[in-house]
A = this chain, B = another copy of it.
Amino acid sequence: MTFQKEIEKKLKDEGYKLTNQRKAILEVLFSHKNHFLSAEEIHLKTQEKYAKTNFSTIYRNLELLEKLDLIHKINLDNNTAHYELIHKKCHHHHIICKGCGKTEPIDFCPLEEILSKLNHKDFSFTDHKFELYGYCSNCQKKLL
C-alpha cells in the first residue's frame, strides 16, 4: 500500500469520509513533498484535479489534516500560512526557500543543547520553532 493510500485509509478508519475534494487535496500535498504551499496555491492545484473544490473546503481540510498531524503549518513573515505534508516520522526542522517554498529537512535539533544551557526551572516549555530561510539555487538565478 502506498503512503497516500495509507493516509486515506487512516482518514476512513477515523470516521472521515473520503470525498473527491479531500482526495484531490491529498494528491496535491503528496505531489509537493518538501514544499511549503500557501492555501491559495493548494486551492489552485487542487482545482486542477477536482475543479469544483471551494476555497473554504481547502481551509477546512487543511485544519483537519493539521489536527491529525498529517501536515505541518507555518506562518511566514508575510502573514500567510503555508502547509507541507509530514512524510518523515522523526522530529526535524526546515530550511525554507523564500522564493518557491521548497524545503529541506534539518535532522539536527538544537533544543536539548539549549535547554541544558538555560536552567529555566520557572518556565514550562511547550514547543519551539527553528527555521532557516534563504534562496535555493533556482531562485537565486531568478533574482539576478
Residue ranges of A at the interface with B (Cβ–Cβ < 8 Å): 75-77, 79, 81, 95, 97-98, 104, 106, 108, 110-111, 113-114, 117-118, 120, 122-137, 140
What would be 18 A-B contacts, judged by CB atoms less than 8 Å apart?
A75-B75, A79-B79, A95-B118, A95-B120, A95-B125, A97-B123, A104-B123, A108-B117, A110-B114, A110-B130, A123-B134, A123-B136, A123-B137, A125-B132, A126-B135, A128-B131, A128-B133, A130-B130
Copies of the chain in the assembly = 2
Residues of B within 8 A of A125 (CB): 95, 132-134
Residues of B within 8 A of A127 (CB): 133-134
Residues of B within 8 A of A140 (CB): 124
Query: Does the CB pair A132–B106 fall under 8 Å?
Result: no
Query: Does the CB pair A135–B129 fall under 8 Å?
Result: no
